[in-house]
Amino acid sequence: RNIWYMEDDIRYEKHGRVRLVTINRTKHMNSLDFSANDKLVEVWKEFLNDKDARVAVITGSGDKAFCAGADLKSYTMNYATQTATEFREQYTESLGFGGITRGLKVNKPIIAAINGYAISGGLEIAEACDIRFCSPNAKFAHQDVNWGFHPCDGGCVRLPQIVGIGNALEMILSGEQIDAEHALRIGLVNRIYPLPDLVSSSLKYAEVLSSRAPLAQKYAKDVVLKSGDMSLQDALRLESRSFYDLGQTDDLDEGTTAFREKRIADFKGE
């Protein structure tokens, strides 16, 4: 392991072809102010542009919180001084909270290792990940309705796709917290690991993903995310076209050759 990039608020570590992103604001329950949010955006851009980086794991520092959302003191002070037009221009046209919730397309697998509270914007970051693992102490909530607004960085869109409309509306309309077992039951998280093992288990799983064909993962993720808005016929056509495009890659040749030769494939992402 080595530190590839580090700031006071955000850590970015290299583990082979896996990258570990840590929100390091323990005293603030790993909530993000504007500065930390901007740093996290830059980290995702670094991950996206790094050809050697195959999979990312994101977690929070400490043992209490993954991310408690936005640091409301900094956000509300900023928005209180803006006109409606300024708000729309800055917020709706900018990258979403945490960098991956809106506007920045990351076509590599991302795993959330949720080590405590994932609240509002923090939960939206987790929802924007592809796979979610958590510890038994994890708590999940969209608490926005308690303060007069609703999820605005993908929560109203992604959560129903993950857990179904009924479960999503129960969380969004009530603002109530759910625990790890409830989250597992409704499909919000994939697995629960003991807190001391959460990050190491997530990294181990990420290593497995990093050994798979990166182009196949990229294309499959694209089909899964795009097909939800399509008719069945159009979605199946998209899947077939994606499969055809994969057939023109060197990775497919390597994969089929490795299968015939009974060896592990060495994918290059080409």
User: Residues 30-69: pLDDT tens digits?
Assistant: 999 989 999 999 999 999 999 999 999 999 999 999 999 9
Model pLDDT, residue 91: 47
Ranges of the chain with pLDDT below 50:
1, 77, 79-80, 84, 86-88, 90-92
Quick one: pLDDT at residue 87? 45
Helix axes 34-49, 72-79, angle to 10 degrees: 100
For 242, the token pair is 């994606």
The number of C-alpha atoms within 13 Å of 110 and in the hemisphere containing its C-beta is: 23
The pLDDT of residue 128 is 97
223 close to 238: Cβ distance less than 8 angstroms:
yes
